[in-house]
Structure 1
Amino acid sequence: MKSTSSRSRVMWRYRVRQYTFGSFRRTFQPPAPVNAQQARARCSNGVLRVELPKEERARGRRIEVRSG
């Protein structure tokens, strides 16, 4: 497959954008349970990116219902 374009477009999705100089602390509550064991963070060009994967929900199980 070949594709050509005369314009390119970059799409950014931000949950939070914040500019701070010097020392700072930021706390937040994630909207859903997260797997803290797989949390990742990186700082590149002065931008901190934190990835918190959602926690896998417990799988349902089948329960036999007996009558009588």
Structure 2
Amino acid sequence: MANLPDRRRERYLTPADWASYTMNRMLEDFFPGAGSGFDWVPAVDVIETRDTLEVRLELPGLCKDEIDIQFSNGVLTIKGEKKEVKEEDKAEKRYHHREMRYGSFVRAIALPVDVKPEEATAQCSEGVLSIVLPKEDRAIHKKIEIKS
């Protein structure tokens, strides 16, 4: 176990991952269902302060009971499902342009620092889910002054 690389320190999205994500999005635009195994992928920001790590996801239209947040081995996993509004007269409608995405999603984010998951908080406001995780004391950067 001691020889295993610490994957949490790696970048969130490598250039190859970004290319794959972009290609899947383009495929979905032209051939719905041809992209990834999930219906959509919410945008994510990871912000570090001195004492915390904050993860924000764009989740418009989702309620808290449609979102599941788990933490295990340095990886924060957010799952959910954005359900399409059922329309009674859908058979009579024809879409000319459709960009809104629905269905299930999973985001697994390898966190760059050690955190205290038991002290994490989450709130959803105006379509943005914010998860704040306090850093472990050993992950907090401290300047050490030299005494004369």
TM-score after normalising by structure 2: 0.25
More helix by share: 2
Whichever of the two has the greater Rg, that structure is: 1
Greater percentage in strand: 2
Query: Which structure has more RCO (C-alpha within 8 Å, separation ≥ 6)?
Result: 2
